[in-house]
């Protein structure tokens, strides 16, 4: 690349100036090369799913506090999820959110026992169960180290703490409800 920037700079001067003209051209060409390389890095950093240097800025903008051991792939996924997330309060929203994060879950909506509705063998819940719902979690996603997507020094295999999905659901659930978690 240096040769092309140096050639372009030499075309801007119709005649050689006094001093070490070639050395001065090389210094300026090297400076342009560094600026061009920096611009190419910045172009990749504009997209959250490719960010590395500016990932902390992306996380700050979308309001995410990464854990100290979170790998690069996971942090990028969280930023992209937060950007694309439109929110919602339905069962299907929480199911699709968990699925997008790699979890297999089932939402439990217990109904209090009512005469005419309940049958023999049904669980008898009290009337206070109306504002409660549960999440059965069947698996946990695993991130494997990948060249080009992971950073040096990260573990070869990483999984999130069990409380990640719990914390996310607690943050997004309707305020008047209580959610409990069951791990299968």
Q: What pLDDT digit, counting tens, does each position of 120-167 carry?
A: 777 777 666 778 899 988 887 778 888 888 888 888 888 776 678 888
Q: Is the pLDDT of residue 88 over 50?
A: yes
- Above pLDDT 90, what percent of the chain? 17
- The HSE-up count of residue 95 (CA atoms within 13 Å, CB side) is 7
CA distances from 49 to 84, 89, 94, 96, 98 (A): 12, 26, 23, 20, 19
Q: Give the pairing type, strands 105-108 and 132-137.
A: antiparallel
Write b or e for each residue in 14-41: b if 16 or more Cβ atoms lie within 10 A of its Cβ, otherwise e.
eeeeeeeeeeebeeebeebbeeeeeeee
The DSSP output letter for 71 is -
Q: pLDDT at position 61, please?
A: 93
CA 54 to chain centre: 13
Longest dimension (CA), the chain: 102
Helix boundaries (H) for 46-173: 55-62, 72-84, 91-100, 163-172
Q: Is the pLDDT of residue 85 over 60?
A: yes
CA 126 to chain centre: 40
CA dihedral 38, 43, 45, 48 (to 10 degrees): 180
Contact status, residue 157 vs residue 142, Cβ threshold 8 Å: yes
> Which tens digit of pLDDT belongs to each residue from 120-131?
777 777 666 778
pLDDT mean across residues, the chain: 84
Domain ranges, ordered by start, for the chain: 2-44, 46-85, 86-183
Q: pLDDT at position 18, please?
A: 67
pLDDT grade for 57, boundaries at 50, 70 and 90: very high
> Which pTM does this prediction carry?
0.58
Among 17-21, 36-40, 103-107, 170-174, the minimum mean pLDDT is found in 17-21
**Is 148 strand, coil or helix?**
coil
pLDDT grade for 59, boundaries at 50, 70 and 90: very high
> Which tens digit of pLDDT belongs to each residue from 24-45?
888 888 899 899 888 888 888 8
């Amino acid at each position: 690349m240096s040769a092309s920037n140096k050639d372009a700079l030499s075309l801007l001067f119709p005649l050689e100036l006094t001093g070490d003209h070639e050395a001065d051209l090389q210094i300026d060409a090297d400076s342009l090369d560094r600026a061009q390389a920096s611009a190419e890095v910045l172009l990749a950093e504009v997209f959250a799913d490719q960010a590395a240097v500016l990932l902390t800025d992306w996380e700050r903008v979308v309001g995410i506090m990464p854990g100290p051991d979170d790998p690069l792939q996971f942090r990028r996924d969280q930023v992209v999820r937060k950007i694309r997330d439109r929110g919602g309060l339905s069962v299907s929203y929480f199911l699709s959110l968990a699925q997008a994060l790699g979890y297999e879950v089932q939402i439990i909506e217990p109904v209090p026992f009512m005469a005419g509705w309940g049958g023999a063998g049904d669980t008898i819940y009290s009337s206070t169960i109306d504002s409660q719902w549960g999440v059965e979690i069947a698996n946990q996603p695993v991130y494997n180290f990948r060249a080009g997507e992971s950073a040096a020094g990260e573990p070869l295999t990483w999984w999130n703490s069990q409380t990640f999905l719990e914390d996310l659901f607690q943050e997004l659930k309707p305020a008047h409800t209580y959610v409990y978690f069951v791990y299968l």
